[in-house]
Structure 1
Amino acid sequence: MQRPAYLHATYRHGFWWLALVALGLLALGLGLRDPWPADEPRFALNALEMLKTGQFWLPHRGGELYPDKPPIFMWATAVSIAITGSVRLGFLLPSLIAALGTLALVTDLTNRLYGRRIALLSGAALLSTVQFALQAKTAQIDMLVTLWITLGAYGLMRHALLGPARGWWYLGCASMGLGIITKGVGFLPLLMVPAWALLAWRGQATPLRLKELGLGLAMILGVAALWVVPMALITTFGDEPGMTAYRDNILFKQTGKRLATAWHHVKPWHYYIVSVLPWAWLPLVLGLPWVVPSWWHRIRRMDARVLLPLSGTLLVVVFFSLSPGKRGVYMLPTSPLLVLAMAPLLPGLLCKRGLHWLATGLLALLGGIFLIAGLLGAFGLPALTELAAKYDVMPWTWWILLGVSAAGLLIWLRPRRGMLGLAAWLAVFWALWSTFGYQQLDQTRSPRDMMQRVVQITGPSAWLAQPDFDEEFLLQAQQPSVHFGFHTDQDAQFLKAFDWLAQAPDERWMLVPQRKEDQIACADLNQARDLGLQNNEHWWLIPGPAFASCEGDTAAAPLFVAPTTVEGPVSAGPQPGTRPGQDGVSEAPEEEGK
């Protein structure tokens, strides 16, 4: 097959064009949606509470300690929200900046190793990778930890492949330390050290001296200790209830125990290989039939530029596959490493006729599915109509546009440029996702409008109880709101809620999913207001007097006031219920909770 014309271009301003395209594609949609569950509302709420209370060292969720993650990502989110003055604008900025940083690191390293042309192809390959683009547009911790992991790998490879460059090695180690206190797994670049040692022994890489290794490990631990040591002191000697449990959970349960004996997201060992990587690595995965033999030849020649990132990619997959708990997002750090391993092969790969036909077939399949589904939905096919009603969306125009764009690209670029067509269609997909998709899904995934209706019914000064709450409802609450502990037994939560409502029934309401009908069987549901469907749940808003026949228990559960929903300061930790006639919440803790 003749080499595509774009492989012969000089790309004088190529890096600027790549940066402009990346910024435009990944930033598109900023400010057009609210944080969506599962994780985004939680981290936005953490950040808002930091800004409201000034308690930055330990994250809180609705006034309760949040023990699952360190605060680095929440700090970044808080700074972004403070700078922009808007949750909608700010909550996605950390992921966007981390994605652009990761892209810059991969492009710079491949430029130094192979030159400008391969660097630009590598940047375009990473930008087109499905999971990378998805997480760049998602406010989860994983894009930020991927930046730290990629910077760690960058520093390691600058020393190993382009060294000696001890400063870059130590910077990479510092980044790994930041990765550890962001999400525990920042050490993943160290998985490349065995391959590095082998390559150095064969004279193919700069040796890593024992002193450098020791100082690097000390740098990792030292950076991690900047947060861990003060956190341990605060939680050991602090007086807020639950601090000791927070310390033990964040240091042990959320790290080693979560990996070794996971208690949720349990999947078989082959889950990533079969169910995640085939879509997460698209479109790069289409080239593996040609890339794997080339990798083998380069490994036999001990090509350090390929062997190092390839060993990192494979060992990260193996590392997470050994844990019983698996989530697809754990594979995100492999995308930059995979691109680095494939980089020298990209020009030859794009000359493979079979690859372009494979990409053309996939594009035709995806475009056909969207076009047919969109047309059938628009014409009222019952199955699709019921599905749209269930999720309160009407995506037919969006899907038809995706199908039509695929058809247009197939006609314009033809099979001989199928890979370019697939990459262009993915760009169209993300552009439509960030506009039509956000518009369609925000009303069903964000309870902003429902919480506005709630405050219109109750009045802005009425207090709202949210037993068995989800973070998105606290985030969007527009009136004083309380909850009873995220992990508290549900029956205990309702007993406490009944007691709290009885103290000032005319001033207090409960927001509750209708599936909790058994827990509120004692209530007079004739007084309930049906709020309809929101976030796949049907909701009731029930006034305090409706619970007159319900027997409460003040000691059944803790009471937390969400600081972001009230004016003025609120002390952290469990709060006492406000008594009739009081305007606020007493500062003295009622009990320590569980």
Structure 2
Amino acid sequence: MRARAWPLPLALVSLAFAASLLLAGALPLIDPDEGRNAEVAREMSVGGDLVIPHLAGMPYLDKPPAFFWATALAIRLLGPTPLAARLPAALAAALTLLALAHLALRQSGRRLALRAVALLAAAPLFAVLSAYCIFDMPLTLCVTVLWTALARELSEGALPRRRAAMFAAVTLGVLLKGPVMLAWALGGSLAAALLLRRRDPLRWLAWWPGWLMVAGLAGGWFALATARHPEYPHYAFVEETFERLSRGTFHREQPWWFMPAVLIIGTLPWSLATPWRDLRAGASPVRDPASRRMLDAHGVALGFVLFGVVFFTLSHSKLVTYCLPALPPLAWLAAAAWNDPRPHRWPALMLAGLFGALGVACLVGRGGWLQALSQAPASSGVETGRALGLALLGAAMLGLAAAMTRRPGLAFVTTLLFAPIALGTGRPLAAAYAATQSGAPLAHAIAAAGGGPVRYEACYSPGTDYLLGHGGTLVATGDAWITSNYQLRYRAALAARGGWTPLAADAPTPGARVVVRPASSPGDPPAGWTECFHDRRFVAFRADATP
């Protein structure tokens, strides 16, 4: 791999990273996921407990601590801002693109590297989650490091440092999301072995120093957490893992076609417009080392894609973000198909038809469906619908031109336009939607009212606490406000150890300057208090004068 092949892929990765940072700073954090994850990291950065994450002052063991470590560091550097909370995801996305480019440069060359990076960066699901405060993008980095290193091992042989990197990725993945990283490692490797019809993709699993690393680091944290919270093994393995996969107790069940549909929609338009039949086109016989190298990489990539689809289709817990680790190997396969320079008309016609249909839908509907989805003002929906429709029709014309001139390069560029068009023109509606689901408006209203300690009654907005930079006092009325499955299921054990912080409904909170209640049941304001905020989720009252 020559050093002079890197500048263009690096430039493309840098451009994608800049776009992620721009998106990360443009929108408020969305509750419950982003606000909760950011607040857990803020409490870690303030409290200093690196072993047990906390939310609202209570142990939060729904996920291991690695993601919170990274986010807490970003908060220390940048303060409690949306950009700080989303920075680890943006960095993980950029490193994932680099890992993909590195494999392409080793296996083929700059042309494949550029195509793979461009396709992955332009996938709508990848682009959005690169600026989202959630665990799945760092997990995607770990899975990508694993399968790209495995592909290199099949073509170049086993090396101790490469296997150390593979097991480091497994270790970090376990510390990010728990046993699901082991499922990706074992299941993806097994699927690759079945596709390639040989045992080579499984040999790395027998490297015992790597398992010592996993046991020492990930197992060491697990032992420390269990020593402080003895119920944690049951929660982690039985409830969080087994029940999530085999039962609907987490209320995340979806139809069998959900994950394949997410994979297709999340990578539009190239999931439909890629000339997949040309994936092997032009390949030399298998005895050619270069061809063999590429076929091995294709087998590994396809194995990890198929594992992700099958595993999460069978699981009773399905979320859109779960299939994110399957996007990089899918982008690799798509890039290999596009790497064939022969002209094709049907991908360009597919692009023209898809963009044209979407553009007409936006113009005819006058953005009404976009406005309904985002809950934005009607005027914003009309303006955004018009801009989006015209931009998509312009992309359709490019696709048509590519079909007429049989220029595969122009067709490929057209496949990259959907995410930039959607995110660029749809920003006002995205901001309007985010505001309805964010704790930012409440935080701004509290700050404008003079700030001070906050009392939450029968509700909670962790995103508000994050932006205010301090935790509020929770008053326990029911359990609808609890966003942590661990806290919900083990509150009795936490209370017995003094780890349950919410107060009883009639308990006073001396010094509270703001009271927050659910908008569905705000009740009368406390005596001497006036309303300072009201939206679809919350109502806030502030004290009229300092007591």
Residues 69, 295 of structure 1: alpha-carbon distance in 2 compared, 3 angstrom cutoff: farther
Equivalent-residue separation in structure 2 for 1:423 and 1:191 (angstroms): 31
Letter of the 1:208 counterpart: R
Q: 1:186 aligns with which of 172, 181, 187?
A: 181
CA-to-aligned-CA distance 1:300-344 (integer Å, 9 cap, x gap) = 968322112111210121111111111111100001111233343
SS in 1 for 2:380: coil
Give the CA deviation at 1:73: 0.8
The match for 2:240 is: 254
Q: 1:333 aligns with which of 325, 332, 343?
A: 325
Letter of the 1:119 counterpart: A
TM-score, structure 1 as length reference: 0.75
Letter of the 1:327 counterpart: L
Give the CA deviation at 1:142: 0.4
Matched, 1:36 2:53: no
Residues 26, 154 of structure 1: alpha-carbon distance in 2 compared, 3 angstrom cutoff: same
> Structure 2: where are the runs of 5+ without partners?
287-291, 403-409, 483-490, 492-499
Equivalent-residue separation in structure 2 for 1:386 and 1:13 (angstroms): 44
Contact 2:391–2:421 at 8 Å: present in 1 too? yes
CA-to-aligned-CA distance 1:141-190 (integer Å, 9 cap, x gap) = 10011111111112222212222333212311221121012012222133
CA-to-aligned-CA distance 1:564-584 (integer Å, 9 cap, x gap) = xxxxxxxxxxxxxxxxx9xxx
Equivalent-residue separation in structure 1 for 2:481 and 2:89 (angstroms): 34
CA-to-aligned-CA distance 1:259-312 (integer Å, 9 cap, x gap) = 232412012333212x31220132231146x425856998x9683221121112
Matched, 1:46 2:53: no
Alignment length, in residue pairs? 508
Residues 77, 507 of structure 1: alpha-carbon distance in 2 compared, 3 angstrom cutoff: closer
State the structure with bigger RCO (CA 8 A, min sep 6), 1 or 2: 2
Q: 1:284 aligns with which of 270, 273, 291?
A: 270
Residues 92, 209 of structure 1: alpha-carbon distance in 2 compared, 3 angstrom cutoff: closer
Give the CA deviation at 1:355: 0.8
Letter of the 1:186 counterpart: M
Give the CA deviation at 1:48: 0.9
Contact 2:476–2:503 at 8 Å: present in 1 too? no
Give the CA deviation at 1:107: 1.1
Contact 2:36–2:55 at 8 Å: present in 1 too? yes
Give the CA deviation at 1:354: 0.6
Q: State how 1:372-521 maps to structure 2 within 5 Å.
A: 372-373=364-365, 375=366, 394-411=380-397, 414-416=400-402, 417-433=410-426, 436-437=428-429, 439-454=431-446, 460-461=451-452, 463-477=454-468, 481-484=472-475, 488=479, 497-501=504-508, 510-516=515-521
Q: State how 1:94-493 maps to structure 2 within 5 Å.
A: 94-184=88-178, 185-187=180-182, 188-194=184-190, 197=193, 208=203, 211-212=206-207, 214-233=208-227, 235=228, 243-246=229-232, 248-263=234-249, 264-273=251-260, 275-287=261-273, 290-291=275-276, 294=279, 303-348=295-340, 351-373=343-365, 375=366, 394-411=380-397, 414-416=400-402, 417-433=410-426, 436-437=428-429, 439-454=431-446, 460-461=451-452, 463-477=454-468, 481-484=472-475, 488=479
Give the CA deviation at 1:52: 1.5
Equivalent-residue separation in structure 2 for 1:384 and 1:209 (angstroms): 48
Give the CA deviation at 1:42: 0.5
> Structure 1: where are the runs of 5+ without partners?
1-9, 236-242, 378-382, 545-580, 582-594
Which has the larger displacement, 10-19 or 464-473? 10-19
SS in 1 for 2:515: strand
Percent identical residues: 23
Equivalent-residue separation in structure 1 for 2:480 and 2:367 (angstroms): 45
Residues 76, 347 of structure 1: alpha-carbon distance in 2 compared, 3 angstrom cutoff: same
Equivalent-residue separation in structure 2 for 1:296 and 1:319 (angstroms): 30
Equivalent-residue separation in structure 2 for 1:231 and 1:279 (angstroms): 39
CA-to-aligned-CA distance 1:388-427 (integer Å, 9 cap, x gap) = 7677993443333222222333445644144422412422
The match for 2:495 is: none
What is the CA RMSD across the aligned residues, in angstroms?
A: 3.8
SS in 2 for 1:156: helix
Equivalent-residue separation in structure 1 for 2:58 and 2:377 (angstroms): 31
Letter of the 1:539 counterpart: V
Residues 222, 515 of structure 1: alpha-carbon distance in 2 compared, 3 angstrom cutoff: same
Give the CA deviation at 1:71: 1.2
Which has the larger displacement, 175-184 or 474-483? 474-483
The match for 1:539 is: 539
Contact 1:451–1:478 at 8 Å: present in 2 too? no
Equivalent-residue separation in structure 2 for 1:207 and 1:180 (angstroms): 19
Letter of the 1:165 counterpart: L
Equivalent-residue separation in structure 1 for 2:445 and 2:206 (angstroms): 64
Residues 460, 490 of structure 1: alpha-carbon distance in 2 compared, 3 angstrom cutoff: closer
Residues 297, 396 of structure 1: alpha-carbon distance in 2 compared, 3 angstrom cutoff: same
